[in-house]
Structure 1
Amino acid sequence: MSLTMLIFLAFGLGLLGFFMGRARGTALFAANAATATTAKARIGGVHSRPGYHGGYVGLFALMPALLVVLGWAVVSDDFIAGRVLDTVPAAERPVGDLDRISFMNEVKGLAAGEIEEPFNEATRPAAVVYATTRSNYNLLAGAVALTLASVGGLFAFSRLRPQFRARNKVEAAVRLALMTASLVAILTTFGIVLSLIFESLRFFQFVSPLEFLFGTRWSPQTAIRADQVGSSGAFGAVPLFWGTIFIGAIIAMIVAIPLGLMSAVYLTQYADTRLRKILKPMLELLAGVPTVVYGFFAALTVAPAVRDFAVWLGMREASSESALAAGLVMGIMIIPFVSSMADDALNAVPRAMRDGSLAMGATPSETVKRVLLPAALPGIVGGILLAVSRAIGETMIVVMAAGLAANLTLNPFDSVTTVTTQIVALLTGDQEFDSPKTLSAFALGLVLFCITLVLNIYALAVVKKYREAYE
């Protein structure tokens, strides 16, 4: 029996408890209707509907079984691995953590039939022990889950009475589940921030924060030997920050903001209803295109065209990878974010404001410029900030069209890189998290997080200011 089967077993027991409880609730309604003498008595004789009785029994059957299964899923790998390694002879038993992980991966592959011939012959008998041990303990976990579900379900079933407040209990459980989901999201955010801060502090033990934040040379390769070439270990991140701003917040926004805003104005104010139903879904399809497809388009189509244009301008050494190529394609990618938010904001402006402006003699274009856009500015700013955040976090387009060179340049035809691209490059492959090169990725992530936070705070301030003006 696998863990997946155990999870299905837990939900199956909960579903069985639900049907039993609902049947009991239906019987209580029927008995009350048969004995009641008035319509009011028939309605008020049973506190909760049958569905709430079923939900109450189902929760008591599901939750104990599910907790057992999830708890076993968390500890099963380490527990079974310990049992398997105890059966391996001491001379052939792996010593280090990496050897242990490699040994158990081979054992699991043999047990699942994914590996036919092992590299280590000691894993062959261990695979038999692993399969047997896992099956036995999964059966034991299933038996425990079944027992607890039966006890919980029978206990809840025995409490069902006409005046039992099953609805209150079920709604309290739903509120608890919603609160838990909210706490998970909040705690996940705190965990991300704390992990970034902790690893960044380790990085700043090797590199000065001033050098990292204000240095202009980025070469994260550190020398292993004194005579090693090309490993300067320079961690000045200004070229990365500039590349991120240059591509994501300047070039991409120059493309996305005018096109997205004008698209929203046309679709909301000028387009025919039938034409809008066709154009708006087509425009929003751009948001569903995978970023790697945009990357291919940028690398194979836009980048060569930009290079040819640079050569036509007289730049004989123009690179096939450039900030302009990546920024143009990234701007096209985020047009739907600007357009959709601006569209919703313009549609949310009261119709009376538009009609009043037209009644005063203003033209449609004057109404858009002087009435609708100022009134919809909070939503438009929110869409722009969302688009900026999306552009700052983009990776694939930059890797395929802008390159990996950390250049501090104003020339859009030069190759540049961004923070997210360098994070991917630093953490790709087998890395040890005790070197400045790897830890610098967390420092870059922390700075990027702070930049995004500042942008969001500024957006909230703008929204608050203009919302008060137009309420």
Structure 2
Amino acid sequence: MPVSWIASCVIALAVVGYIIGRMRAVSQAGGDTRRLHSRTNYYGWNVALFTAIPALVLILIWQFVQPPLVLQSALGKVPEAASAEVSNQSLFVSDVLRTANSLDRAISRKVLTADEVTGLTLENKDALAKMTAAQLPLATSVNATVLTAAQDYVATSRMGNTILGIAALVLGLGGFAFAYLRINPAFRARNVVESFVKGMLIASASIAIFTTLGIVLSMLFESGNFFSQYPWQDFFFGTTWSPKFGGGSQLGILPLVWGTLYISFIALAVAVPIGLFAAIYMSEYASPRLRSVAKPLIEILAGIPTIVYGLFALITVGPMLRDYFAQPLGLGNSGSSVMTAGLVMGIMLIPFVSSLSDDIINAVPQSLRDGALGLGSTPSETVRKVVLPAALPGIVGAILLAASRAIGETMIVVMGAGAAAKLDLNPFEAMTTITVKIVSQLTGDTDFAAPETLVAFALGLTLFVVTLGLNIVALYVVRKYREQYE
């Protein structure tokens, strides 16, 4: 039974429980709802929640737990001799999953029966032709070992879904009966429902915390695997980035850190002054009519996809900088450079700084402006000495957001700055960033046990630490200046 059908049955049972719960509450009160502690809707929701929530939680947990267990079981039944012949374990697992997906869909579409899938062999041309005609071909590199593992995966998964359906329905019916039998005029249904909802809200709020914890732990675990194979001294202090699958790699992070900081610095040098001056003008000097037109036009920049900015850098900005600056000054002959990516990224970041700073400046109390003007300050002195210091914590937050966006950008760097990892002060030379190399190391058919792949997690952890440091600095600035203006 598909999981969607199981969930639909549970939800339908909960709807029935809502209706029957209300009817029983009215019946227990002898038709006089004034005798009930809570409104009739709460009695219905009490039954519906006890019916649906435990069963749906079981389905959700099952969806996360079942696939790895089933895969481990299928791979565990592969003969050792056949397993030893597999040169790339990750490719083998991918072929098994692709083949299993095709077989499962063949059963669901009734192209083949479950018995035919179980007895399928590579010599059965008729069954394979049926699957090909239904656009359900097996993996391109399928062999007898892959097919056997995929068949076991499908059989175990379908059996697991059957067990899940029975368990979910039993749990739903148990919750239904438990909640239904508790209904009486004195039962505090409203309190129970509100506690249930409060628990759901707490669980929802905890998702962000556990997601962050999971991301950090996964990076720490995989980074630990990497550093067990590659010296941390060579990683953090190495000046050469030259990954080579098969051995002999030099994975020094310093060229990537330099490229990331260099490009981000140029981007912020463009975005922060322009964005901040635009925010000051729109909030303090522009007329309402001009502001209503200018601000939406600036914010349009935030809605442009980064790939479009990358094309703009590749086709327009890069050649222009090369022809008018780099070549005449003898600084380079390439259109891909740090300056190209930094300028285009700075344009992209202008609305982040401008819009947020504008909202923050407008939030400064008008009484501060009136007091400064009343003491004889000019409008420009009021902005410099009163409005900007009062809005500084928020402006720092806007700049931090722009910095985080710049550090994490990938497409503009790929198309505007190239992929060369090197240490150089020339802004018209091609360089790259940490995010670009994370993508390149995880792209294609890679061996996830090799240090050349695991280095992506070490790079991600380094990027996380840098961003965390920026947040700590910004928090310090915000707290220091907020106390003066509250």
Q: Give yes or no for TM over 0.5.
A: yes
**Deviation digits for residues 262-320 of structure 1 (CA, Å, limit 9, x no counterpart):** 22222222333344334333323322322222212211222112212224633274211
1:247 alignment partner in structure 2: 263
How many angstroms apart in 2 are the aligned matches of 1:411 and 1:443? 27
**Corresponding residue to 1:355 among 367, 370, 381:** 370
Moved more, 134-143 or 428-437: 134-143
Deviation at 1:425, TM superposition (A): 1.4
Query: Is structure 2 residue 216 aligned with structure 1 residue 193?
Result: yes
Output the amino acid matched with 2:42.
Y
Contact 1:18 / 1:58 at 8 angstroms: preserved in 2? yes
**Corresponding residue to 1:421 among 436, 443, 451:** 436
Output the amino acid matched with 1:59.
L
Contact 2:283 / 2:362 at 8 angstroms: preserved in 1? yes
2:196 alignment partner in structure 1: 173
Deviation at 1:159, TM superposition (A): 1.7
Total equivalences in the alignment: 452
1:272 alignment partner in structure 2: 287
Q: Secondary structure at the residue paired with 2:32?
A: helix
**Deviation digits for residues 99-147 of structure 1 (CA, Å, limit 9, x no counterpart):** 4652453243144244247755798899899878766664553344233
**Deviation digits for residues 420-439 of structure 1 (CA, Å, limit 9, x no counterpart):** 11111122222223333223
How many angstroms apart in 2 are the aligned matches of 1:458 and 1:433? 35
1:163 alignment partner in structure 2: 186
Structure 1 residues 103 and 210: alpha-carbon distance in aligned structure 2, compared to 1, 3 A threshold = closer
**Corresponding residue to 1:294 among 296, 309, 320:** 309
2:136 alignment partner in structure 1: 115
1:366 alignment partner in structure 2: 381
**Deviation digits for residues 334-382 of structure 1 (CA, Å, limit 9, x no counterpart):** 2222123212221221111112222333332222111111100000001
How many angstroms apart in 2 are the aligned matches of 1:282 and 1:416? 32
Contact 2:26 / 2:32 at 8 angstroms: preserved in 1? no
Output the amino acid matched with 1:436.
P
**Deviation digits for residues 370-408 of structure 1 (CA, Å, limit 9, x no counterpart):** 111110000000110111011101111111110111121
Root-mean-square deviation (CA, aligned residues, Å) is: 3.3
**Corresponding residue to 2:253 among 232, 237, 244:** 237
How many angstroms apart in 2 are the aligned matches of 1:343 and 1:75? 47
1:153 alignment partner in structure 2: 176
2:98 alignment partner in structure 1: 105
Structure 1 residues 9 and 295: alpha-carbon distance in aligned structure 2, compared to 1, 3 A threshold = farther
**Corresponding residue to 1:325 among 340, 358, 365:** 340
Structure 1 residues 455 and 32: alpha-carbon distance in aligned structure 2, compared to 1, 3 A threshold = same
Structure 1 residues 8 and 274: alpha-carbon distance in aligned structure 2, compared to 1, 3 A threshold = farther
Matches within 5 A, 1:43-82: 45-77=35-67
- 5+ residue gaps, structure 2: 107-134
How many angstroms apart in 1 are the aligned matches of 2:215 and 2:161? 33
Contact 1:260 / 1:339 at 8 angstroms: preserved in 2? yes
How many angstroms apart in 2 are the aligned matches of 1:73 and 1:467? 46
Moved more, 457-466 or 135-144: 135-144
Output the amino acid matched with 1:17.
G
Contact 2:22 / 2:41 at 8 angstroms: preserved in 1? yes
Contact 2:332 / 2:428 at 8 angstroms: preserved in 1? no
Deviation at 1:235, TM superposition (A): 2.6
Query: With structure 2 as the length reference, what TM-score do the two structures score?
Result: 0.82
Q: Secondary structure at the residue paired with 1:168?
A: helix
How many angstroms apart in 2 are the aligned matches of 1:425 and 1:132? 36
- 5+ residue gaps, structure 1: 34-41, 225-230
Contact 1:419 / 1:444 at 8 angstroms: preserved in 2? yes
How many angstroms apart in 1 are the aligned matches of 2:2 and 2:426? 58
Deviation at 1:207, TM superposition (A): 3.9
Output the amino acid matched with 2:258.
W
Moved more, 452-461 or 206-215: 206-215
Structure 1 residues 49 and 285: alpha-carbon distance in aligned structure 2, compared to 1, 3 A threshold = farther
Deviation at 1:93, TM superposition (A): 8.2
Contact 1:241 / 1:419 at 8 angstroms: preserved in 2? yes
Structure 1 residues 374 and 137: alpha-carbon distance in aligned structure 2, compared to 1, 3 A threshold = closer
How many angstroms apart in 2 are the aligned matches of 1:144 and 1:274? 63
Output the amino acid matched with 2:279.
A
Matches within 5 A, 1:2-81: 2-24=2-24, 31-32=31-32, 42=34, 45-77=35-67
Contact 1:111 / 1:128 at 8 angstroms: preserved in 2? no
Q: Secondary structure at the residue paired with 1:376?
A: helix
Contact 1:107 / 1:123 at 8 angstroms: preserved in 2? no
Structure 1 residues 17 and 93: alpha-carbon distance in aligned structure 2, compared to 1, 3 A threshold = farther
Deviation at 1:247, TM superposition (A): 0.5
Structure 1 residues 28 and 321: alpha-carbon distance in aligned structure 2, compared to 1, 3 A threshold = farther
Output the amino acid matched with 2:188.
R
Output the amino acid matched with 1:443.
A
Output the amino acid matched with 2:275.
G
Q: Secondary structure at the residue paired with 1:179?
A: helix
Structure 1 residues 191 and 135: alpha-carbon distance in aligned structure 2, compared to 1, 3 A threshold = closer
How many angstroms apart in 2 are the aligned matches of 1:363 and 1:89? 82
Deviation at 1:465, TM superposition (A): 0.5
Output the amino acid matched with 2:56.
L
How many angstroms apart in 2 are the aligned matches of 1:152 and 1:2? 22
**Deviation digits for residues 204-236 of structure 1 (CA, Å, limit 9, x no counterpart):** 344443333233222222664xxxxxx5x3233
Q: Secondary structure at the residue paired with 2:244?
A: strand
Query: With structure 1 as the length reference, what TM-score do the two structures score?
Result: 0.84
Structure 1 residues 70 and 323: alpha-carbon distance in aligned structure 2, compared to 1, 3 A threshold = same
Output the amino acid matched with 2:39.
R
Structure 1 residues 463 and 125: alpha-carbon distance in aligned structure 2, compared to 1, 3 A threshold = closer
Could you tell me the percent identity over the aligned residues? 47
Q: Secondary structure at the residue paired with 1:334?
A: helix
Q: Secondary structure at the residue paired with 1:429?
A: coil
